[in-house]
Amino acid sequence: MNIFFSIIHILITIFLCLLFFFSIYQRFSYHITDGVLICSKSLDQCLLSFFYQDEKIDYVLPYSTVGIDGTYKTEIAYQIKNTEIINLIVIGSRTQVFYGTPFKISLYFILSFLSIILFFISKKTTST
């Protein structure tokens, strides 16, 4: 039974460490900028506007991106390949997840660190 809990604890620790490393990777592979999001339920869409290399970029997104009528200042994360935007994430939207925010990076680091420490503490207490 003790081996079973140790294996589960190791798997959870590995999962948290992978989330931490993925969030760092995502933070450094995406560019983050400010944008404006205007949503309208009657039109069932949102208009996203932001500046990329001194050029205004507009995207039409589904209404479910935010799900509430109104105008919002938001942060946009985007990847660039050959001077073109290939992936766009509205940070804080309902339909997309961006793991590279400073809060999530800190959270995953703390949880990973605590999991590793607790694993060694549990090993030390069970061995004595």
Write out pLDDT tens, residues 12-58: 999 999 999 999 999 999 988 899 989 888 888 889 898 888 888 88
Q: What domain range includes position 63? A: 31-97
CB 96 within 8 A of CB 88: no
Predicted TM-score (pTM) of the model is 0.77
Pair 67, 19 in one domain: no
Residues 108 and 74 in one domain: no
pLDDT, residue 108, reads 94
Give the pLDDT of residue 127: 65
The mean per-residue pLDDT over the stretch 65-71 comes to 83
User: Per the domain annotation, does 128 fall within a domain?
Assistant: no
Pair (43, 23) in one structural domain: no
* pLDDT for res 23: 93
Residues 6+ apart with CB under 8 A from 113: none
Q: Are residues 93 and 42 in the same domain?
A: yes
Same domain flag for 92 and 36? yes
Average the pLDDT over 66-83 and give the result. 86
- pLDDT band at residue 128 using 50, 70 and 90 as cut-offs: low
Query: What rounded mean pLDDT belongs to the chain?
Result: 86
Q: In this structure, are 103 and 93 located in the same domain?
A: no
Pair 93, 105 in one domain: no
On whether both 118 and 90 belong to a single domain, the answer is no
Residues 19 and 53 in one domain: no
> Residues 44, 1: one domain?
no
Judgement on whether residues 58 and 46 belong to the same structural domain of the protein: yes
Q: CB–CB of 45/60 below 8 Å?
A: yes
Residue 19: per-residue pLDDT? 93
Above 90 in pLDDT, residue 61?
A: no
- How large a percentage of the chain has pLDDT more than 90? 26
Does 89 lie in the same domain as 37? yes
What's the total number of domains in the chain?
2
Residue 62 lies in a domain: yes
